[in-house]
Amino acid sequence: AMSLAYHAAHLLLSMLLPVQTWKTLDHTHSLCLDLTVKSQSGPGHPWYEVQASVGKKPVFQYDSDSSKMKPLGLLGAKVNATNAWTELTQTLGEVGQELRMIVSDIKLENSVTSGPPTLHIQLSCQCEAERGTAASWHFNINGQPALLFDAMNMTWTVTSPGTRGVKEEWENKGLADYFRRISMGDCRHWLREFLEHWEKVPEPPVPPKKVPDADQSLPMPSIACIFLGVIVISPVIIVICCSISRKLGKWQAGLWPWGRMQ
């Protein structure tokens, strides 16, 4: 009985553990901004573009031609009229101007690419239980990984040997403090504002999966019930079989003398 209870408890725990893990991870949210900056661009091609998402849900896009944010998805429609939306529009314009001056001064070592560089940035900040847990900047220059800035620890990581000079120049200009303020101040503020509308966004309905008749299988709880039922019923079946065997033996023993007389 103790062994059966142990196996049943272990099975129940293994079934519930993924659910509990999912609930824990669900409390962590992140805001990701993908920024593309060019020092020069042709007509009809904005020199500055931004796309934002919260937890992989698109929120808005921004470009330098319109200097406006376009809401995307259900969450974007919800936060379109908030104060954070107005603040973010102004801040993104200021950040774009600052980054345009930065990209104009980029000089790569041993670069084979001619012309003005293109800077792609992934800015992300993360909150868990209303507390900031991560903030970082990933810089790509001309499509190649260049630098990583951890705003939490104020540390730089050079991901391409040709960008060491860029890192040193940005450090001398004090850009680390600027990047930290944007990612740990503004970004977190925007994320908290967006999360106030997170629960109000309905999840899209998920269509039921159609399983072919030939490939249907029992769900895990049903398999567990069948397994436990076999364990419980097996001793009863054994007792019944032994009882029938003993009765059959006595019956054959009673017929044996009569068979010899024939």
**Phi, psi of 155, rounded to the nearest 5 degrees:** -120, 145
**Phi, psi of 157, rounded to the nearest 5 degrees:** -125, 125
Tell me the mean pLDDT in the region 40-61.
90
- The pTM for the full model equals 0.64
241 band by pLDDT with thresholds 50, 70 and 90: low
Domain spans of the chain? 28-195, 231-262
At 91 the pLDDT is 93
Query: Rounded to whole angstroms, how far apart are CA atoms 212 and 237?
Result: 36
What type of residue is 247? K
What type of residue is 35? L
CB 32 within 8 A of CB 122: yes
What is the torsional sign of CA 163, 166, 171, 177? negative
212 band by pLDDT with thresholds 50, 70 and 90: low
At 245 the pLDDT is 63
Residues 114-169 pLDDT 10s: 678 899 999 999 877 666 678 999 999 999 999 999 999 999 999 988 889 999 99
Collapsing DSSP to helix, strand or coil, 45 comes out as coil
28-195 CATH choice from 3.40.30.10, 1.20.59.20, 3.40.50.620, 3.30.500.10: 3.30.500.10
